[in-house]
Structure 1
């Protein structure tokens, strides 16, 4: 082995022995306002430990978003969250530097406490706190034909999901399929095909998933146009094991794009 190969080997051995977890940092804030009031937006950075993380993505949330998360989680995990401390609302002086600095620390600690509870960090409520608003905007962009902007949004969502849903990676399928639709409609067929293969791999053990057959139909079309193997993909549909699981909407078969556009309703 070369010196570089040895370095990579020992680096892998080192990381294989380290548990992977997420770190939450609130790096900065900004004052925003709507027609009713001013409020603080907190910039949250999510970092994966245990391996090199070159995708340090961030989101912005306000205190009321945290408050909604806490309220939703308590509905299902009240006992598990008995010792979790949620920072209290401050009605007067909440825009002062001292209060903002104290709240940054408190909200960071709050996310750490939530993540430490296994059932909470794997819950849909916890995951959606980080991606729901972006999903809504992304699907709206697709509906409006703004595919370039939609791709930027869904790529960001995918980076977040890669960190948040390792326990159930199938949750990334809808995001990957949204990217397939965007690239396909922008005539970037190679990229659409490449992303579609990743989605199919995740669905390999989930043939009854609502995205399975619409994705297969799209991949067959892409493979045919690109001169790739489409017969093996067609066999997955024609072998009979999925004929009763064809996705439908109002009694009709749906395309992948129709299914993706319909997802917008689920984010509202």
Structure 2
């Protein structure tokens, strides 16, 4: 639907980490592995215990979690794409606070793929939900990247320009300047938008350059050779320092770990 070159789901290495919400048996996460994409599958604790066990037995990253009042245990900008396929989550509750939590977790230009009857809007209730959700994401400066039948994919802005151009008093507001978007453990969700820092633009750009340089093909050819392992480890350390986090390192290391010996 997004028309990436050669229909490559990872878009040339630009999509490497995905958050799959309401994942069931994590079949979506399993499907993405062949495209060199690592998905963290999250299922609610009330009905999905056995399904998560099935996912873990297939070595697919998954855990039981709750989208409630506390932030999910990931720093900001941890994922390039979030996915919800009939996940039965009320994204409009409490001023859209759950959708704003996804916004915190998505990187600049990140996507939210939403598969639900509301996107098709066949009856009055679906139409109401679709109108309210569309209005909310528009105020969050998300744009529709693609829409087909019951699937819609929104994309986040790359810069703060849209946030700065909103009328005064527009809801949801921007988060306070002293809010730390990377603080997660025991931290309550906030119904606000986390703007980008100037430093974040540069780090995001450098991360993409490094990802393209250390491509999956390069890893496949060289991961099992000790001398290249040493080289790749040094490059990954440099990437961690530049990106100021572990997301890049962990996703690349997992890609290498999945290569047959």
TM-score (norm 2): 0.24
TM-score (norm 1): 0.23
Greater share of helix: 1
- Select the structure of larger CA radius of gyration: 1
